[in-house]
Amino acid sequence: MRNNDNGFSATRRLILQGAGAAALVGLGSSFGNLPFGFAPANAANDKYPDEAFKAKSDADAIKALYGKTAEASDKVKVDAPEIAENGAVVPVSVTTTLADVTSISFLVAENPVALVASYKIPAGTMANVANRIKMAKTSNVIVVVEAGGKLYSATKEVKVTVGGCGG
Amino acid sequence: MASTIRVRATSSGETTEVQALIQHPMDSGFIKDSKGEIIPPHFIQQLTFEYDGKPVFTADWGGGVSKDPYVKFVFKGGKKGDELKVSWVDNKGATDTTTAKIQ
């Protein structure tokens, strides 16, 4: 259920989680360092994926977000600069010819938190997203596309002259 | 206060291209200020675009999204003159909403 109060209710849910509300015990436990084998956030769920945004490595973030691993695919095209002079603002976009795309996520392997952004793509929205991300240093940028229930990824290295994460 | 959200939604007949630019510090929580103290995290966590009462695009963001974030996407449908609703909420619970007319 989506409504205008989406953001508010997301925040409220976070607070409830912290309080250990009975109905949210399952979600609440994801605050722990448990393996992410259970109830991975799926694309239809509008809950903010906290645990995925805490994961340090790209592999952990993808697992926390989707509960599975991605396979490299040449059907996912990442457009990013070879060299970024300013790591604080790196334009990255993705297009794909894959059908039934439900979600697209951007990760930077060498950032302190690998996951940068995760987009939900409802039916009728094109699998074509551009955004601007921060990069701490030269790193692989990984884009994961969820299509037809499977995960596909593409990786591109971007050389960063001046880091954008204050490292 | 003026809205923090600037949206341009352009219909090409079959599809609508949406570009949004939002004013927000997007502090990741990893950067130190001039005194060497960590600037606490302050970033937009969720951004939603709704057309005709349905979400057409939802972003979950972390602190790795650039300051004053920009995003672009395309959805099928959308008529000139119709409204597109955009709203965000950040990690401190602050929020903003705007409505743009599709051009």
Domain ranges of chain A: 56-162
Closest Cα in chain B, distance from residue A71 (Å) = 22
List, for residues B14-29, the tens digit of each pLDDT value: 999 999 999 999 999 9
pLDDT at B33: 87
Q: Which of A7, A46, A116 sits opposite B87 (nearest CB)?
A: A7
**Residue A2 and residue B54: Cβ atoms within 8 Å?**
yes
**Residue B33 to residues A163, B6, B25, B29, Cα–Cα distance (Å):** 15, 28, 13, 11
Separation CA B45–CA B90 (nearest Å): 5
Size of interface A-B (CB pairs under 8 A): 130
Asked if the C-beta of B7 comes within 8 angstroms of chain A's C-beta atoms, the answer is no
Chain B stretch 27-86, residues whose beta carbon is closer than 8 A to a beta carbon of chain A: 28, 30-32, 45-46, 48, 50, 54-67, 69-77, 85
Least confident segment among A25-29, B56-60, B86-90 = A25-29
ipTM: 0.93
List, for residues A79-121, the tens digit of each pLDDT value: 999 999 899 999 999 999 999 999 999 999 999 999 999 999 9
Closest Cα in chain B, distance from residue A18 (Å) = 14
Q: Please provide the average confidence, as pLDDT, over all residues in chain A.
A: 79
Domain B5-101, CATH homologous superfamily name and number: Immunoglobulins (2.60.40.10)
Q: Which residues on neighbouring strands pair with residue B48, listed in sequence order?
A: B58, B87
DSSP state of A67: S
The domain segmentation of chain B, as residue ranges, is 5-101
Higher pLDDT, B83 or A13: B83
Which among A38, A27, A89, A64 has a CA at the least distance from the CA of A144?
A64
Residue A141's contacts (CB-CB under 8 Å, 6 or more residues apart) are: A78, A80, A90, A92, A106, A107, A108, A109, A133, A135, A155, A156, A157, A158
Q: What residues of A are in contact with residue B95 (Cβ under 8 Å)?
A: 7-8
Q: Average pLDDT of A62-75?
A: 94
Q: Average pLDDT of B35-58?
A: 94
**Residue A134 and residue B28: Cβ atoms within 8 Å?**
yes
**Residue A44 to residues A102, A107, A120, A123, B93, Cα–Cα distance (Å):** 8, 20, 8, 11, 22
Structurally, at CATH architecture level, domain A56-162 sits in Sandwich (2.60)
State yes or no: pLDDT of A13 exceeds 80: no
Q: Average pLDDT of A29-58?
A: 63
Asked if the C-beta of B25 comes within 8 angstroms of chain A's C-beta atoms, the answer is no
pLDDT at A164: 67
Chain A stretch 85-124, residues whose beta carbon is closer than 8 A to a beta carbon of chain B: 88-90, 93, 108, 111-113, 115-122, 124
For chain B, the straight-line distance linking the first and the last C-alpha, in angstroms and rounded, comes to 24
pLDDT at A25: 42
